[in-house]
Amino acid sequence: MENCDKKNNDSKEVEENNGLNIYPIINIKSAYILQIIFSHINKKRKLRLVNYNIEIQKKINVLLEDYRTAAGIYRIGGRNGQVKIYTLKDKLLFEGEYVNGKKNGKGKEYYKIGGTIEFEGDYLNGERNGIGIQYHLNGKKNYEGEFLNGERHGKGKEYLNDGKLVFEGEFKNGKRNKGKEYDEYRSIIYEGEFSNNKKSGKGKLYLPNGVLKYDGEFLNGKRNGRGKEYHENGVLKCDTEWLNGEVNGKLKQYFKNGKLFFDGTLINGQETGYGKQYHENGNICFEGEYFYGSCDGKLYNINGKLEFEGKFNRGRIYISGKEYYENGNVKFEGNYYNGRRRKGKEYYENGNLKFEGTYSCGERKGKEYYENGNLKFEGTYSCGERKGKEYDINGNLIIEGTIKNEIWFHRIKQNLLNLFIILNILNIKNLIKINKGSQLFSYI
């Protein structure tokens, strides 16, 4: 009876201990041994004390080969002291100090794949707390700094997987809060505040040479709010409002020499409404209304002389309007297609009409005039061929026919010049070039 009572007492002790999570693996051949029961359903390992039995011992030895999890000093209630934790494949996952079943003190964690170190530093109550270093899978530093409750918190530095510094500053709840960003050449590119690891709040952008590029407000990684932009020589480029990375509001933009370049309004980065642009020498370049994709106003050359008045797109491809000579007289007025004249009138510099008609794919059809106002030609110009009527400076018809590459194939209509009379009499059908001095046809 005494033996039976003793056996019952031992069983009771086992049942009381079953609620504990982890038991020591100090001496597998002690009075009690560990049997590992692995549940594939709930993915949890459970350890149970049983009386020593040689057959059970063999089974446990096999189990321990595949499911070894830890080696160290244990007490009922949890691991304590120096501990090593392994994967199912006997790969080291953690080595360090435990107190009452939790990581406390110095420790190291390792990647499951590759086995390289993933973290080394301080722990408190099972979490990373204090100073620590995280590593990339290739062994290069990922982060070095302070931790709180398992997350980056406080001062720290981030590195690329090649070991180059990419950020240093303050972290909050695992994310960047304030600091400096660097490019791959260790040049500072941003300094300021963050939210959710994106530039948000006050900040500064820098060029690769370290010159300040932008100083102002950010939101979600983009310029938002008031901000100043600078040229690479340090001269102010603009001081305006920004929205989602684009200028949005009144804008004064300056050249590198500090002179005004633009004065107007931009909405979502596009010029809108009335505005002015200037040449770098200070002379006005444009004044008028801006629309999305086009402008309506006056263009001036670098000397401040009116060059064009009308509609054009942002690439200065004319749509409709007037071109001017430097003396202020109209050079052309009409419509354009893809920046080329389509239909209109050309004028001499003295203001007299030079041509009126249409233009299309290298073809010109209409009337051409002498500078004195008399009709010079009426017909069609196409691919080096001109077909129509030619007049002299006094308005007399001198020829009607086709001119191809300045070669005449013609039929004489009037007896005005002895040369043409002789050619007609001799019935010469060969090639004769027009005397350049006659200037019967000309192009702008």
Q: Is residue 236 part of a domain?
A: no
Q: How far is CA 382 from CA 127, 342, 420, in A?
A: 85, 14, 25
Q: Is residue 189 part of a domain?
A: no
Q: Is residue 328 part of a domain?
A: no
Full domain range(s) for residue 438 = 361-444
Q: Is residue 398 part of a domain?
A: yes
Q: Is residue 373 part of a domain?
A: yes
Domain final residue pick, 52, 67, 82: 67
**pLDDT tens, the chain, 444 aa long:** 444 444 333 333 232 333 333 333 433 433 334 444 433 333 344 444 445 556 665 555 555 544 444 455 444 446 788 999 888 778 899 999 999 889 999 999 999 888 899 999 999 999 999 999 999 999 999 999 999 999 999 999 999 999 999 999 999 999 999 999 999 889 999 999 999 999 999 999 999 999 999 999 999 999 999 999 999 999 999 999 999 999 999 999 999 999 999 999 999 888 999 999 999 999 999 999 998 778 999 999 999 999 999 999 877 889 999 999 999 999 999 999 888 899 999 999 999 999 999 988 768 899 999 999 999 999 998 776 778 999 999 989 988 888 765 444 444 444 444 555 555 545 444 433 333 333 222 222
* Tokens, residue 427: 């019935």
Q: Is residue 382 part of a domain?
A: yes
| pTM for the full predicted model | 0.66
For the chain, the domain total comes to: 2
Q: Is residue 410 part of a domain?
A: yes
Q: Is residue 323 part of a domain?
A: no
Domain final residue pick, 38, 67, 96: 67
Domain final residue pick, 19, 43, 67: 67
